[in-house]
A and B are shown apart, each in its own frame.
Chain A
Amino acid sequence: MLDKIRKWFTHGTEFIAAAMIAAMFLTFLIQIFSRYVMMAPFGWTLELSLILWVWIVFFGCAFIVREQDHITFDIFYLAGGRRARQVLALAAAAAIVIGMAISFLPTWDYIDWMRMRRTSTVENPFTGNKIPLRTIFSIYAIFMVAIIVRYIWRFVDVLRNGPPDSDHDIPGHDPEPPHLRHGEDVV
């Protein structure tokens, strides 16, 4: 059951992210078309692309970027044994949770305050009003909450099951065939 929900969630969020990046690409093409072919640029295309870019980054980091996709400096981590890795992974997860949790309320205050400001060109297609920046920036709050939840989850997981082996693989990586370990015979 839990696995099923998880699978649907992964597929769903991947779909949303793919749709957003496709939309950004398309908006950009519309902009180029309006500028160079129609010679009358739409104002809203640029701002819409930027909104989608912000959403792709934070929605992406919240839901579809896996631990191994992040840019990481892992020389020391990988040099450690299993026990050391566990401690380091726990410390990293705890730091992220604490930092995000402490800064959440002040950040939310800022985002909430941004309801005073509105987009300059992009309109809500249903009401025709300009969109409050709070709506657009709210993805950052969602990102913070998702990261807090994810890293609490990771903390518990690492505590119970030890450090996952796949975290620092290069995406798509097949491990090298194991080298001969000490004590094995070479015939």
Chain B
Amino acid sequence: MSFELASTLVTLFVLAGIGTPVGYSIILASLVYLGFAGLDLALAGEKIIQGLYRSFILLAVPLFIIAANIMNAGTISDRLLQFCVAAVGRFRGGLGHVNVVASLIFSGMSGSAVADAAGIGKIIIEMMTKGGRYAPGYAAAITAASATIGPIIPPSIPMVLYALVSNTSIGALFLAGIVPGLIMGVVLMAMNYYISSRRGFALEEPVPIRQLPKHTANAFPALLMPVILLYGIYGGVTTPTEAAAVAAFYALVLAAVFYRALSVKALYGILVESARSSAAVGLVIGGALILNFVVVSENIPAMVADSLVGIDMSPLVFLILVNLLVLGLGCVLDATTIILVIVPLFIPASRELGIDLVHFGVLVVVNSMIGLITPPYGILLFVINAVTGIPLKEIIGEIWAFLAVLIGALLLLILFPDIVLFLPRLLGYQG
């Protein structure tokens, strides 16, 4: 390792470690690299601005953020929830299932786990804990666990970021996420059923079947959204970025015109918040662009690949090791940071080992989403704690069972790549 690189890494870890915003830490660390390598300091700014200015694909990020925020502010989430209660609320562990199914549907729209947890999650936790039917910690834990499905089922902001660093097709990535997302839903519902039966959580009053059409009609325009998005992207009608804009627009029309649940003032608030989150994420993306320049200048990915080829590692062992690493890092790092900064180091190596990059991408995204609920540093746990006031300790105490089944699902995806690749191949992905 060169001296420049070593000092860059030290700067990065020290600055980020003491709580400097990750985006600034990366920029400063790359300045250290440029300085010691005798390069122009302006390269940092140049790579960041040019990178953001030239990548069309990134425009999907602010657009999905707007879409998610609109959906949370309007009554779209509530209507979806009523539909889910009517559909699956009658079974053992009813509201737990509602929780998972709502996440599955909602995730077809928002592309962000945090939006999922903060929006629909908050409402459903209130329903679950009302009258003491479910322990607050349990309600919060299953909400956090099911919110991880959000970015697996398209659209998905983390997958857009992965496509950026790996040059894979977003369309194929999105398709590849559907089955894994459903599997995650199924294992969570199974665990919920098991725990609810054992602990004897109260059954819901079933919503009469004849009311189901009413609830379906009420939620129908919202249920149509994933269909529109998927048709747009996979029918080859729109690019994923355009689909993001269509999603945001559709959400806006639904909330403002159709359901009449969005005031001008609320819309303004949404725009300000969306700009704020887009800027904060954009800074880290910009940082990742300059850091990638450093990583490529130092030829690190090729070095990683060479050393792996040298020791003749099997693809499966490689995948398991990388996944263990990401899982470990997920306990302490944010998903955006992992995908933009850590994952690119392993992409050439996995290409070298003949691992499909779409498969690899889905594994990494699933894995970093699991990281969002692994203690001690799980953003979703914090968000739910923030919006509901349920103590972190109680949430963490209940999260382990769900964490275990999600990791089981991840293992399944590692061992059987066909689960992931079946759907994209069916629709023409060559890989």
Contacts and interface: CB of A to CB of B under 8 A. Distances in A.
B62 A21 contact: yes
Interface residues of A, number: 67
A61 interface: yes
Given A54-B49, A95-B20, A174-B389, A75 B44 contact: no
A57 B46 CA distance: 15
Contact of B22 (A64, A73, A89): A73
A14 B272 CA distance: 6
A24 B66 CA distance: 11
A172 interface: yes
Range, interface on chain B: 35 or more
Contacts of B242: 28, 31-32
Interface stretch (B205-213, B221-229, B379-387): B379-387
Contact of A18 (B21, B62, B268, B284): B268
Nearest to B383: A170
A21 B274 contact: yes
Contacts of B272: 14, 17-18, 64
Interface string B24-54: 1001100100000000111011101100111
B336 A71 contact: yes
A58 B279 CA distance: 7
A127 interface: no
Nearest to A110: B42
Nearest to B245: A28
B150 to A, nearest CB: 17
A116 B316 CA distance: 51
A47 B213 CA distance: 46
Contacts of B389: 174, 176-177
B23 interface: yes
Residue from the set B40, B237, B248, B282 with the largest chain A CB neighbour count within 10 Å: B282
Contact of A107 (B19, B44, B246, B281): B44
Chain B contact residues: over half helix, strand or loop, or mixed? Answer: helix
A169 B387 CA distance: 12
Interface string A103-115: 1001101110000
B386 A174 contact: yes
A88 interface: yes
Interface in A110-156: 110-111, 136-137, 140, 144, 147
Interface in A11-28: 14, 17-18, 20-22, 24-25, 28
19 contacts: A21-B271, A24-B62, A50-B54, A53-B52, A53-B58, A70-B23, A73-B17, A75-B332, A75-B377, A96-B20, A99-B27, A103-B31, A103-B41, A107-B41, A110-B45, A147-B24, A172-B386, A173-B382, A174-B386
Given A60-B279, A95-B28, A147-B24, 15 more contacts: A22-B271, A31-B242, A56-B282, A57-B52, A61-B282, A64-B272, A71-B337, A95-B15, A102-B41, A103-B44, A107-B45, A109-B42, A144-B45, A170-B382, A176-B389
Interface of B: 15-24, 27-28, 31, 40-42, 44-46, 48-49, 52-54, 56, 58-59, 62-63, 66, 237-238, 241-242, 245-246, 248-249, 268, 271-272, 274-284, 286, 332-334, 336-337, 376-377, 379, 382-383, 385-387, 389, 391-392
- Lowest 4 CB-CB distances: which A-B pairs, in order? A60-B279, A57-B282, A77-B19, A70-B21
Interface of A: 14, 17-18, 20-22, 24-25, 28-29, 31-32, 36, 46, 49-51, 53-54, 56-61, 64-67, 69-78, 88-89, 91-92, 95-96, 99, 102-103, 106-107, 109-111, 136-137, 140, 144, 147, 168-174, 176-177
